[in-house]
A and B are shown apart, each in its own frame.
Chain A
Amino acid sequence: MKRRGDEVGGYRLLTDPTNEGGANCMWAFAEKDGRQYFIKRFLEPKRPKDGSPANATARKLMLEECEEFEERHRSIMERLSHDMSGGGNLVLAVDLFHEGCTYYKVTERIETSSLEHPERLGSREKAILLRTLALSVQLLHGIDVVHGDLKPDNVLVQKKPGSPFHVAKLIDFDDSFISGRPPAREVIGGDQFFGAPEWRRYVQGDESVQPEHLTTATDVFALGLMIHYYLTGALPGHDDRFQFPADAVTAGEALRIDPRIGPVMTDMVRAMTARAPGARPDVAALLAALKDTDVCDLRSPAPTAEAPAARPSAGSARPAGSRVKKNLFGRIRGTPGGPGGTDGPDSPEGTEGTDSAETTGRTEPADPDRPTVSRVRINLPPPVDPGGRSPRTRGERR
């Protein structure tokens, strides 16, 4: 394995590869031509070793795996590149290649601010954060792509010095799939806390849930929970009998929405976390609601006769009865490393649906000096530049 200072695919590693934050890859920050990148080393599939005497069948099967892997990544990439409007907050691959037996994927490096307490943002900031997130998800859903692993860990919250706004950058499309065509039950990605009821049942082998039942609505469920989290700092509560929100919903129990959330967002979160996928609204409805930033206001809860305990205790934003552990989202934090971000605009531009293509699939120019030892670059679709303006220009426009 490479180390800091080594080069892979023309990228010089700035950090030692780590598996922090993931079970399915190793990653590092890297640099090329003065720009910084995030580089991910996939643990599988592996290319058959060049000139290995391994038998022909093994070789063939391994290459088949590799082709499927490339095809899956390419098809998602292609779909994403077709409509870049608003794509600036999707952190997409700029390079996918193999060197030796190993696949690597490169995205721009996102400098993140640590947002330990999203609930402390003002209503307007929250609305902007949520709109940038919702726009990214809407863009995916518009092309029938399910993110498949929506959770705060896969949202890098970015704030540029001088800008009052936090922008949500959506990462980790490795579990993405085409709506209705998820990976097999044993290998599908996702998270138990944010997973939708139908996803949980699919994973658990419930034959009444078939692949076609896993659609963009599974993302909507996760997004509903994330909204609650960004507004209050915690997930909705539920009866202690259940470990995860989806289980409570499956059992027909209502999630306990924090009473400080106003009626519009309460209804929105409730609808988004409905048991039946078909009953959940699409992201457009969320975006429409977020136009009015007041909907993100938290009010002081009126003490209710029957449930005074539902009032959040001091120092804790979570409703009593929630089983969500305090440290659950301790990972929402800045990424390690020094300055040198290569990121795109952090303006709330994205809230208008016109964010630039700054972070979208940009292929690197071929480098004739690059060592060519058994490295093959998979051609990603060419970058699309809506409006014919360079992303940089657009970023500087404001």
Chain B
Amino acid sequence: MTSNGQYQGSLQYAVDIVMCIDVTGSMHPVLGNVKKSALLFRDRLESVMHEKGKEISRLRLKVIAFRDFADYADDAIEQTDFLVFPEQAAVFDDFVGRLEADGGGDAPESGLEALALAINADWERGLDRRRHVIVMFTDAPAHPLGSPASTAAHTYPPNIPRSMDELSAQWGYGRSQTAVMDNAAKRLVLFAPDISPWTEISEEWSLAMHFPSKAGHGLEEFEMDEIINTIAYSL
């Protein structure tokens, strides 16, 4: 940690955020909002932190856009690396700007694969305090992990857990040996309908917050503030 005697300045606070965004056809009416929010996110976060007199030493964002491996393998996942802000803001803006709601076939979609990729992302390990937030935007249920129609896709990523139990073990709990992420840092924020698997995840997984979209309305609106609260109110 910090070397002895160095007490000036704030704690070094690293914030990493992975946004998993469902970009299948049904998201068409709401993707515009999600994109707009993603693009405005950084400014909003900055102004809230500023109001509170606090600072983020290092902010990185990563986007995982997903559709459906079982429907069309080639565009089932599109993702960025962790992008460092503000240096790589243009890359982020460009990627998000080009997302289009398209394809996916019928519900369910490959949301759990996106979540698995997010959990296994290359999270920051340094600095004094970390906050690692996964945000899921979807209007649909998800294919069960390990379903043959998905795993057969030639683009299916290696090392994706083959069952929900396995994924749950990767998420872990306070003293689990199998958790992939830093327990003190991680949060999961779900903007998803109140259906399987999202309901179970928010009930059974630690550090998960579910803001259910209203039935029949898809993902009509959400507040960036719910994500920002997970960052601005720690320490």
Contacts and interface: CB of A to CB of B under 8 A. Distances in A.
Given A43-B208, A205-B1, A251-B8, A101 B203 contact: yes
A338 interface: no
B208 A205 contact: no
Contacts of B175: 61, 64-65
Contacts of A58: 169, 173, 176, 178
Q: Which 4 A-B pairs have the closest CB atoms?
A: A205-B1, A44-B206, A1-B210, A23-B233
Interface in A190-217: 190-193, 197, 200-201, 203-208
B7 A250 contact: yes
Given A1-B209, A46-B204, A325-B51, A19 B230 contact: yes
17 contacts: A20-B229, A22-B233, A24-B234, A45-B206, A46-B204, A53-B165, A58-B176, A58-B178, A61-B176, A65-B174, A192-B54, A200-B11, A204-B1, A204-B6, A242-B9, A325-B51, A330-B51
A175 to B, nearest CB: 11
B50 interface: yes
Interface residues of B, number: 50
A49 interface: yes
A54 interface: yes
Nearest to A195: B235
A63 B9 CA distance: 40
B128 interface: yes
A224 B120 CA distance: 44
B4 A243 contact: no
B10 A192 contact: yes
Contacts of B11: 192, 200, 203-204
A327 interface: yes
B174 A26 contact: no
A191 B235 contact: yes
B206 A242 contact: no
A361 B83 CA distance: 49
Given A46-B204, A102-B203, A192-B235, A201 B52 contact: no
B35 to A, nearest CB: 23
Contact of A328 (B53, B168, B169, B174): B53
A128 B13 CA distance: 38
Interface string B167-204: 01100011110100000100100000010000100111
A3 interface: yes
A65 to B, nearest CB: 5
A202 B209 CA distance: 29
Given A325-B51, A330-B51, A23 B187 contact: yes
B212 interface: yes
B209 A44 contact: no
